[in-house]
Amino acid sequence: MIDLLLNTLFIVLKIALILLPLILAVAYTTYAERKLIGYMQLRIGPNRVGPKGWLQPIADVVKLLMKEVIIPSGANKVLFLLAPILFIAPSFAAWAVVPFDAELVLANTDVGLLYILAMTSIGVYGVIIAGWASNSKYALLGSLRSASQIVSYEIAMGFALVAVLMASGSMNLGEIVEAQSGGFWTWFFIPLLPILVVYWISGVAETNRAPFDVPEGESEIVAGFHVEYAGMAFALFFLAEYANMILISVLTALFFFGGWLNPFQGIPYLEAVTDWIPGTLWLLLKAAFFLFGMIWLRATFPRYRYDQIMRLGWKVFIPVTVIWLIVLALMIKGGVGPWFSGRGGF
Amino acid sequence: MNVEQIVFYFFAALTIIAAIGVITVKNAVQAVLCLVLTFFSAAVLWMLLEAEFLAITLILVYVGAVMVLFLFVVMMLDVDYAALKQGFTRYLPLGLFTALALFAVIYWVVRSKYFGSDVIPEPAKHGAEYSNVKELGRLLYTEYFYAFEIAGVILLVAIVAAISLTFRGRRERRGQSVPGQHKVSKEDRLRVIKMDAEKAPSDELEQTADQNDEQQRGNS
């Protein structure tokens, strides 16, 4: 019994070690976003709270904590309060299988890829229930948009992950990274380039980020599915959205850019020089690049029209992934090096 | 009781409670959510049987896609729940009889004589090395290859049939034609006209203003 308790305590500790830095990262992602978009639009961004505005996210959290959670009249109280939890739980749970280094992973499971896909797809319940339980037209419209958008892009994302699975021959995230070892030219982004583009854009669409942010399109439906939420309940939606952004960035780095692997692996001089850099740092650097890309997209592109979003998902991405799956199968059978050498033969 | 049993009984109870919830709650949206909970706890039970691939596929396919579409449709419906409740007592005897008959038939097939723990041995525990995914993959693509492929083709036919049944051809609508938009070149939209420069407009205005003044003076 003592053993069991200690074991549980140890796992809880490990979960805290993942989640607390994640929440901190979310807070400073919001800061980075406001600063970056500020500079891109020739503004300064937040600079009042603390030195250079560094304490702005903390101030925002305190502000949101102090605010009242208002429950609209006619709302379904239980579901209204359950929705933010249903939205944030999967986006945290997905981190269980994410490896930060060769040995640094909470759950080293053989179905990691499927688990990630399942977790990112059930987050939509939070959005749908929030929209329905709010008893508001705008919220309902936003949640309907979100549901159809996520279901549409789920398919392209699933196909993209099938390609990753074929290329690496495993659904274990750690093994997927190991399959790419051997320098930056053996990473999967070269043979899977179209898949990378599809996965990345679908990821942006799944997280309801600009230019796919129609579920909360503020110029049309106020704030979409979370229009009725205030205070901490709203903060949970916010937290989950940014946690999802970071997750998609980390996953893109893991699937296509060699995760924690050193890009200079196999280059005589550079490998020795960069050997001291820990793998986790490489992973975070790669993920930060994609996170920057997401913020960049938001500052650059106007929002898509709704029918164009649907067209892109169904008529462009799905055919592209299906065709590339066939090309990939041929490449693997042909043993095209350096990625698939040694696996060819009919 | 060890941990596994506690988890089993908890989620088995949750499955049954949620399944009862599906048919007893008043609101259709809540019923769908109960069904989601049922699938979820059933997935945990499968996980306990070391069928992790099937468990996560159940969540991915049913919870993540099918039930989302269910919810999508149910949310749009405007159901008058009071009207639905009318005639409950009238049809109660018939309903009870049907339910009992169904239960009897199912019980006749799924009873301990065929599915008891003495008939079916306890599934063997596998070590940490055992990969359920690899086993399933190997079986599906070797032994059950034809069944697997035929099931896939049947599903494809079902999709085609569903689409052809509901698709009513192109109606008169103002949709955009994307290939048409791509084909457009600069010459189709933009026309550069060669013409002489206009006279500066300011002189003309002054002239007319002067004329007006003269006319007014003449009138007065």
Listed residue (A254, A139, A129, A252) closest to A202, CA to CA:
A252
pLDDT tier at A132, thresholds 50, 70, 90: confident
Domain contains B24: yes
Tens digit of each residue's pLDDT (9 = 90 or more) over B141-172: 888 999 999 999 999 999 999 988 887 766 66
Residues B14 and B115 in one domain: yes
Q: Which residue has the higher pLDDT, B94 or B51?
A: B94
Provide the residue count of chain A: 346
Calculate mean pLDDT across residues A160-187: 84
Kindly report the nearest CA distance between residue B86 and chain A, in angstroms.
24
Residue B118 lies in a domain: yes
Residue A346 binned pLDDT confidence (cut-offs 50, 70, 90): low
Task: Identify each DSSP E strand in chain A by its residue range.
Answer: none
Instruction: State which amino acid sits at residue A132.
Output: W
Residue A122 is nearest to which of B64, B72, B76, comparing CB atoms?
Answer: B64
- Evaluate whether residue B190 is within a structural domain: no
Whether A133 has a pLDDT exceeding 90, the answer reads no
b/e sequence A57-81, b meaning 16+ C-beta within 10 Å:
beebbeebeeeeeebbeebbeebbe
pLDDT recorded at residue B205: 59
Task: Identify the pLDDT of residue A342.
Answer: 66
Q: What does the pLDDT look like over A30-54, one tens digit per residue?
A: 898 989 999 998 988 888 888 888 8
At B23 the pLDDT is 85
Which tens digits make up the pLDDT trace of A316-331? Answer: 899 999 999 999 888 8
pLDDT at residue A156 above 80?
A: yes
Cβ of A275 under 8 Å from any chain B Cβ?
no
What is the per-residue pLDDT for B188? 82
The interaxial angle of helices A112-122 and A137-168, nearest 10 deg, is 170
Q: What is the mean pLDDT of residues A177-195?
A: 83
pLDDT confidence bin for A172, thresholds 50/70/90 = confident
Q: How far is CA B51 from CA A110, A117, B47, B106, B141, in A?
A: 11, 17, 5, 25, 18
Q: Report whether pLDDT(A201) > 70.
A: yes
ipTM above 0.85, yes or no: no
The reply to whether B36 and B121 lie within a common domain is yes
Distance from CA of A74 to the nearest CA of B (A): 14
Put simply, whether A148 touches B (Cβ < 8 Å) is yes
The mean pLDDT of A232-246, rounded to a whole number, is: 88
| CB atoms B72 and A147 under 8 Å | yes
The phi, psi pair for A128, rounded to 5°, reads: -65, -45
- pLDDT range class, residue B24, cuts 50, 70, 90: confident
> Which tens digit of pLDDT belongs to each residue from A84-107?
998 899 989 888 888 888 777 777
Residue A237, Cβ density class (10 Å: 0-12 exposed, 13-18 middle, ≥19 buried): buried
pLDDT per position as a tens digit, A8-18:
888 888 888 88
Cβ neighbours of residue A264 under 8 Å, at least 6 residues apart?
Answer: A183, A184, A270, A271, A273, A274
Query: Do B10 and B110 belong to one domain?
Result: yes
Among A118, A148, A151, the residue with its CB nearest the CB of B60 is A118
User: Domain containing B48 — which CATH number?
Assistant: 1.20.120.1200
Contact check, Cβ <8 Å, A118/B133 = no
- Asked if residue B31 belongs to a domain, the reply is yes
Same domain, B113 and B146: no
The two structure tokens encoding residue A242: 């940014």
CB-based contact B69 A151, cutoff 8 Å: yes
B207 in a structural domain: no
The string of DSSP letters for chain B reads --HHHHHHHHHHHHHHHHHHHHHH-SSHHHHHHHHHHHHHHHHHHHHHTT-HHHHHHHIIIIIIIIHHHHHHHHHH----HHHHHTTHHHHHHHHHHHHHHHHHHHHHHSSHHHHSTTTSPPPPP--TT--HHHHHHHHHHTTTHHHHHHHHHHHHHHHHHHHHHH-----S-----HHHHHH--HHHH------PPPPPHHHHHHHHHHHHHHHHHHH-
Number of domains in chain B: 2
- CB contact under 8 Å between B72 and A311, yes or no, is no
Q: Give the closest residue to A168 by CA, choosing from A344, A340, A341.
A: A340
Query: d(Cα B139, Cα B118) in Å, to the nearest integer?
Result: 27
Question: Which H helix or E strand runs over A271?
Answer: helix A268-273
**CB contacts, 8 Å: A132 with chain B:** 29, 75
pLDDT at residue A213 tops 60? yes
H or E segment and range at residue A292: helix A279-300
From chain A, the residues in CB contact with B33 under 8 A are: 79, 125, 129
* pLDDT score, position B172: 66
What count of residues does chain B have? 220
C-alpha–C-alpha distance, residues A280 and A177, integer Å: 13
Confirm if A196 and A150 have CB atoms less than 8 A apart. Answer: no
Q: Are B75 and B109 part of one and the same domain?
A: yes
Same domain, B31 and B79: yes
- Domain coverage including residue B141: 131-166
The verdict on B91 and B155 lying in the same domain is: no
A71-82 tens-digit pLDDT: 888 778 888 888
Nearest CA in chain B to A171: B133
What is the tens place of the pLDDT at every residue in A294-320?
Answer: 899 888 888 888 878 888 888 889 999
Test B64 with A114 for CB contact under 8 angstroms: no
Please state, in angstroms and as integers, the Cα–Cα distance from residue A30 to each residue in A56, A58, A245, A291, following that order: 9, 11, 11, 11
CB distance A144 to A131 below 8 Å: yes
| pLDDT reading at A4 higher than 60 | yes
**For A258, which DSSP code?**
-
Residues B138 and B57 in one domain: no
Assess if residue B189 is contained within a domain.
Answer: no
Q: Say whether pLDDT at B220 is over 60.
A: no
Same domain, B120 and B150: no
Question: Å from B71 to nearest chain A CA?
Answer: 8
Residues B25 and B122 in one domain: yes
Average pLDDT value over all residues in chain A:
84
Q: CA dist B220 to A96, B211, B214, Å?
A: 95, 14, 10
pLDDT of residue B13: 93
B88 to chain A nearest CA, in Å? 26
The residue in chain B having the minimum alpha-carbon distance to the alpha carbon of residue A150 is B65
Residue B184, domain member (yes or no): no
Q: Is A329 on the interface with B (CB under 8 A)?
A: no
B173, pLDDT greater than 90:
no
Question: Band of the pLDDT at B202, cuts 50, 70, 90?
Answer: low
Predicted confidence (pLDDT) at residue A194 exceeds the cutoff of 70: yes
> What's the rounded Cα separation, in Å, for the pair A236 and A329?
42
Residue B31: exposure state from Cβ atoms within 10 A (0-12, 13-18, ≥19): middle
For the cut 80, the answer to whether the pLDDT of residue B80 exceeds it is no
Distance CA B188, CA B168 (A): 33
The pLDDT of residue A128 is 85
Whether B68 is in a domain gets the answer yes
For the record, the structure tokens of B194 come out as 């060669």
Q: What residue has token string 């004329």?
A: B211
Interface test with A, best of B1, B59, B69, B178 (most A CBs within 10 A): B59
Does the pLDDT value for residue B113 go beyond 60?
A: yes
At B31-56, the pLDDT tens digits run 888 999 999 899 999 888 888 888 88
Torsion of CA A182, A188, A191, A194, to 10 degrees: -160
Contact across the interface for A121 and B65, Cβ inside 8 Å: yes
Q: Say yes or no: B114 and B35 in one domain.
A: yes
Mean per-residue pLDDT of chain B: 82
Query: In terms of domains, do B63 and B78 share one?
Result: yes
Long-range contacts (CB closer than 8 Å, 24 or more residues apart) made by B72-80: B72/A128, B72/A144, B72/A147, B72/A148, B74/B28, B74/B29, B74/B32, B75/A128, B75/A132, B75/A140, B75/A143, B75/A144, B75/B29, B76/A144, B77/B28, B79/B28
Separation CA A166–CA A200 (nearest Å): 18
